[in-house]
Amino acid sequence: MSNKIIQEKINKDYEWGWSFDIESEIAPKGLNEEIIRFISYKKNEPEWLLDIRLKSFRYWKELNHPHWAHINFQIPDFQDIIYYAAPKKKTLSSLDEVDPEIIKMFERLGIPLEEQKVLAGVTPNVAIDAVLDSISVKTTFREVLAEKGIIFCSFSEAVQNYPDIVKKYFGSVVPYTDNFYAALNSAVFSDGSFCYIPKGVRCPMELSTYFRINTAGTGQFERTLIIADEDSYVSYLEGCTAPRRDENQLHAAVVEIIAHKNAEVKYSTVQNWFPGNKDGKGGVFNFVTKRGICLEDNSKISWTQVETGSSITWKYPSVILKGNNSVGEFYSIALTNNYQQADTGTKMIHIGKNTRSTIVSKGIAAGYSQNTYRGLVQIRKGTEKSRNFSQCDSLLLSDTCGAHTFPYIEVKDISAIVEHEATTGKISEEQLFYCIQRGIDKEKAISIIVNGYCKDILNKLPMEFAVEAQKLLEISLEGSVG
Amino acid sequence: MSALLSIKNLHVSVNGNEILKGFNLVIQRGEIHAIMGPNGSGKSTLSYVLAGKEEYEMTEGEIIFNGKNILDLTPEERAREGLFLAFQYPIEIPGVNNVHFLRTALNSIRQHKGLEPIDTSEFLKLVKEKQKSLALPSNLINRSLNDGFSGGEKKKNEIFQLSILNPLLAILDETDSGLDIDALKIVAQGVNSYHNKENAVLVITHYQRLLDYIVPDFVHILYKGKIIKSGDKTLALELEKTGYESFKV
Ligand SMILES: Nc1ncnc2c1ncn2[C@@H]1O[C@H](COP(=O)(O)OP(=O)(O)OP(=O)(O)O)[C@@H](O)[C@H]1O
Ligand SMILES: [Mg+2]
């Protein structure tokens, strides 16, 4: 029956597929040292940063493109990508100077850039850094945050205003030598968010970055750096969309998180890049390196992700548990439909004593999609009583999709406790029939059941984000029913 | 007015096995019918074919529900037209909030009738009222749908849904099995307070006990896919004394 109920029929529509006409300054296509110098010059960067870019580029040129099992695709033509596109009329100082078209565009995305509008309602609980193509156009509520000593600004500004902090941490968690796309990003990254929470400060609102690709043919290579000093706490949200275009667009970000003693960082992502059309044409290649380090004792880093977009996703938000008693968490929902391919998971590297990690992954595959969990739990010698618990569940909504699980476990310490659970199942016909018998249509029923299946992870998201994620799951499932 | 449900010469096969073999039944609005029959006689099969479960194939006959040929309606349309099945074995749906689910169901039915989605406070009032009258613990209705419910709780929850969705025809497939004595009375009260002149109830049960509380206008004995005898409520009493043996043809 599932064959008949759940099959491709309706062309799913990507709600965020429009683009705005915004006047942009665009670098010529292609990648060479000249372009890199141009980006660095545009951003008025210090010499050391240009050096890193050039070193990264030279290193990258020597690398071969990585090969991943279970993913079929055409390697991007790196000379056919625009590496820098910036809206012309933007300034960083005041909203009045931001192009009204940009404000309108973000408004249509549901991202308010005008602080007074947000304030008119209730007290703000989210500060936003809006990144359009290559650069950050506006960061809201910085003054409120500055009172607490919190720095939340675009990466470019941080380079100008806090070069010492940037220099100290940049590349310390994800060195440019880490992988092909980390090297590429380190060479050409254009902007991103920077956030520093000082000692003893609990960040009073969610910090959020919203990424939007607008210009055709551009790649987005943003760089995010989050530093939580001793005894601090921050919850960080990331959202993203891109216009619907026939060609593939490349998104290769690097996110680095550093948690000092007793600090806690929660990083939540709702990823909704354009997934391509129902025949698998177009869509964003999302090749992202995200990693955090629990640098000192009792620190905690927690990744929560809801991945519904992109035609291809490679992404393994990881935690290096260096400090004693540190905690790493990874909660993931990856939903693929049509011809989407997702290969996602995490690495938990246990180095400190008594470190703990939890992995909960829910993969949902529909249509002709491929959904892979790939994860590594490494417990090094001398970690003393470290633990990991992993649970990887897959739900199949069609007979033509695939779900795969590759849990790698390397345990070098005999006192470690590692538990792994995995399930793979089809959506239950009995559950579907029950919903339908109550008058609910099949598509809605599937979305209800899938949402229920993901409940534990949705609950980890901040409230507003959870609601958005829930809607997104529903939309992404559209057309998965015949 | 025409019958609410009229079944003529119904033949139903599952996986090529004929289970119902010429089944006839007419239910008028305002009536309560009970069907009794030995295990495997086809009672649940009847309820599934009415609700439109896919593998239950109608090979012959006709079912008219509320003036419409049931074959013209998808299972969700049947539900929205007012056909409700309280399942013999209600399924668990983890992570799906019981009340949210019910609201989605109610709004689907309302939309079908051209009504606006129910107002939140009105809905909560309704939920509260029904929850009280069925003596359901409030944590139960806010938990995941049937998830980890005891057998009896699941059955009660079916009647809770019935009372909120307020259908035209309620088919209760062994709702009494698994209920303790008090719960049985409460559930029966729930059904009775739902029941009125406009709607009808089809009770499937093994035990006369339930029929002390939900008093049927007609009792039918289903045997090997056919009704072999119909009568009033005394038929159930008779059956309890003699068993099915004496009715075999
Ligand atoms: N999906 C199915 N596949 C194969 N056989 C089935 C299926 N569903 C029902 N049957 C068979 O049809 C017959 C009637 O089953 P049904 O569930 O309707 O009986 P019942 O009268 O409800 O019994 P009980 O009193 O035990 O609930 C049984 O022999 C059963 O095994
Ligand atoms: Mg039965």
Regarding the beta carbon of B36 and ligand 1, being less than 6 Å apart is answered no
Residue A93 pLDDT greater than 60, yes or no: no
Q: List, in order, residues 6 or more apart from B202 with CB less than 8 Å away.
A: B5, B27, B33, B34, B35, B47, B169, B170, B171, B172
Ligand 1, atom 1, residue with closest C-alpha:
B14
pLDDT tens profile A411-452: 999 999 999 998 888 888 999 999 999 999 998 899 899 889
In this structure, is residue A467 part of a structural domain? no
pLDDT at B46: 96
Ligand 1, atom 11, residue with closest C-alpha:
B40
Residue B33 pLDDT greater than 60, yes or no: yes
Q: In which band, very low, low, confident or very high, does the pLDDT at A122 lie, cut at 50, 70 and 90?
A: very low
Ligand 1, atom 7, residue with closest C-alpha:
B14
pLDDT at A94: 46
How many whole angstroms from B88 Cα to the centroid of ligand 1?
12
Say which of B93, B106, B108 has its CB closest to residue A431. B93
Pick from B108, B115, B118, B169 the residue to mutate for testing the A interface (most A CBs within 10 Å): B108
Q: List, in order, residues 6 or more apart from B240 with CB less than 8 Å away.
A: B207, B208
Residue A324 DSSP code: T
Domain count, chain A: 1
Q: What CATH number should be reported for the domain holding residue B40?
A: 3.40.50.300
A3 contact B CB<8A: no
ipTM: 0.96
pLDDT at A225: 95
Kindly state the percentage of chain B with pLDDT values over 90: 78
Contact A154, A192 (CB under 8 A): yes
Question: Probe ligand 1: pick from B18, B20, B44, max atoms within 8 Å of CB?
Answer: B44
Which residues of chain A make contact with B145, given a CB cutoff of 8 A?
452
Q: In which band, very low, low, confident or very high, does the pLDDT at A136 lie, cut at 50, 70 and 90?
A: low
Give me the sign of the Cα torsion angle A362, A348, A254, A78: negative
In this structure, is residue A283 part of a structural domain? yes
Start-end of H helices in A109-248: 115-120, 142-146, 155-161, 163-169, 180-188
In this structure, is residue A477 part of a structural domain? no
User: Is A455 close to B54, i.e. CB distance below 8 A?
Assistant: no
Residue A314 DSSP code: E
pLDDT tens profile A236-290: 888 755 555 556 678 889 999 999 999 999 999 887 777 777 777 777 788 899 9
Which residues of chain A make contact with B90, given a CB cutoff of 8 A?
434
Residue A123 pLDDT greater than 50, yes or no: no
In this prediction the pTM is 0.82
Rounded distance between C-alpha atoms, residue A238 and residue A472, angstroms: 14
* Residues facing residue A373 across a β-bridge: A344, A405
Residue in chain B closest to A436 (alpha carbons) equals: B76
User: Is B79 close to A439, i.e. CB distance below 8 A?
Assistant: yes
Find the domain containing B221 and state its range: 5-247
Find the domain containing A180 and state its range: 3-114+122-427
Rounded distance between C-alpha atoms, residue A125 and residue A464, angstroms: 10
pLDDT tens profile A144-168: 788 899 998 889 889 999 999 999 9
Q: In which band, very low, low, confident or very high, does the pLDDT at A312 lie, cut at 50, 70 and 90?
A: confident
Question: In the block, which residue shows the tokens 């199942």?
Answer: A425
Which strand (E) or helix (H) includes residue A234? strand A233-241
A423 contact B CB<8A: no
Regarding the beta carbon of B15 and ligand 1, being less than 6 Å apart is answered yes
Contact B234, B218 (CB under 8 A): no
Q: What is the DSSP string of A185-201?
A: HHHH----EEEEE-TT-
Q: In which band, very low, low, confident or very high, does the pLDDT at A15 lie, cut at 50, 70 and 90?
A: low
Residue A88 pLDDT greater than 70, yes or no: no
Rounded distance between C-alpha atoms, residue A41 and residue A234, angstroms: 32
* Residues facing residue A332 across a β-bridge: A305, A361
pLDDT at A481: 60
Helix (H, G, I), strand (E, B) or coil at A110: coil
pLDDT at A187: 94
By C-alpha distance, which of B46, B66, B68, B67 is closest to B58?
B46
By C-alpha distance, which of A148, A89, A154, A95 is closest to A119?
A95
pLDDT tens profile B109-121: 999 999 999 998 9
By C-alpha distance, which of B95, B98, B117 is closest to A466?
B95
User: Is A440 close to B75, i.e. CB distance below 8 A?
Assistant: no
CA distance B153 to chain A (A): 17
By C-alpha distance, which of A217, A250, A283, A246 is closest to A28?
A217
How far CA B68 is from CA of A206, B28, B199, in Å, comes to 55, 15, 16
Which residues of chain B make contact with A439, given a CB cutoff of 8 A?
76, 79-80, 105-106, 108-109, 112, 165
Residue A135 pLDDT greater than 50, yes or no: yes
Print the SS3 string covering chain B. Answer: CCCCEEEEEEEEEECCEEEEEEEEEEECCCCEEEEECCCCCCHHHHHHHHHCCCCEEEEEEEEEECCEEHHHCCHHHHHHCCEEEECCCCCCEEEEEHHHHHHHHHHHHHHHCCCCCCCHHHHHHHHHHHHHHCCCCHHHHCCEECCCCCHHHHHHHHHHHHHHHCCCEEEEECCCCCCCHHHHHHHHHHHHHHCCCCCEEEEECCCHHHHHHCCCCEEEEEECCEEEEEECCHHHHHHHHHCCHHHCC
Question: Probe ligand 1: pick from B11, B41, B53, max atoms within 8 Å of CB?
Answer: B41
Q: Which residue has the higher pLDDT, A10 or A59?
A: A59
Domain count, chain B: 1
By C-alpha distance, which of B206, B172, B160, B218 is closest to B51?
B172
pLDDT at A4: 34
Contact A70, A344 (CB under 8 A): no
Can you give the C-alpha Rg of chain A in angstroms? 22
Contact A265, A301 (CB under 8 A): yes
Question: Probe ligand 1: pick from B13, B14, B36, B46, max atoms within 8 Å of CB?
Answer: B14
User: Residue A422's Cα: distance from chain center in Å?
Assistant: 24
The two three-digit tokens of residue B164, written as one number = 């909120």
pLDDT at A102: 62
Contact A432, A446 (CB under 8 A): yes
CA dihedral A173, A174, A176, A180 (to 10 degrees): 160
Q: In which band, very low, low, confident or very high, does the pLDDT at A100 lie, cut at 50, 70 and 90?
A: low
In 10 A of CB A152, how many CB atoms?
28
Regarding the beta carbon of B131 and ligand 1, being less than 6 Å apart is answered no
Residue B76 pLDDT greater than 90, yes or no: yes
How many whole angstroms from B19 Cα to the centroid of ligand 1?
8
How many whole angstroms from B173 Cα to the centroid of ligand 2?
7
Rounded distance between C-alpha atoms, residue B247 and residue A319, angstroms: 72
Q: Which residue has the higher pLDDT, A91 or B115?
A: B115
The two three-digit tokens of residue A194, written as one number = 């920077």
User: Residue B234's Cα: distance from chain center in Å?
Assistant: 22
CA distance B187 to chain A (A): 19
Ligand 1, atom 25, residue with closest C-alpha:
B39
pLDDT at A107: 65
CA distance A460 to chain B (A): 14
Count contacts between A and B (CB, < 8 Å).
77
In this structure, is residue A471 part of a structural domain? no
Residue A20 pLDDT greater than 60, yes or no: no
pLDDT at A183: 95
Closest atom of ligand 1 relative to the B174 alpha carbon: 27
Regarding the beta carbon of B47 and ligand 1, being less than 6 Å apart is answered no
Which residues of chain A make contact with B108, given a CB cutoff of 8 A?
438-441, 444
Contact A129, A64 (CB under 8 A): no
Rounded distance between C-alpha atoms, residue A317 and residue A236, angstroms: 14
A425 contact B CB<8A: no
Question: Probe ligand 1: pick from B13, B36, B45, max atoms within 8 Å of CB?
Answer: B45
Kindly state the percentage of chain A with pLDDT values over 90: 41
Q: In which band, very low, low, confident or very high, does the pLDDT at B196 lie, cut at 50, 70 and 90?
A: very high
CA distance B234 to chain A (A): 33
* Residues facing residue A342 across a β-bridge: A313, A371
Question: What ligand is nearest to the CA atom of residue B19?
Answer: 1
State the average pLDDT for chain A.
82
pLDDT at B48: 96
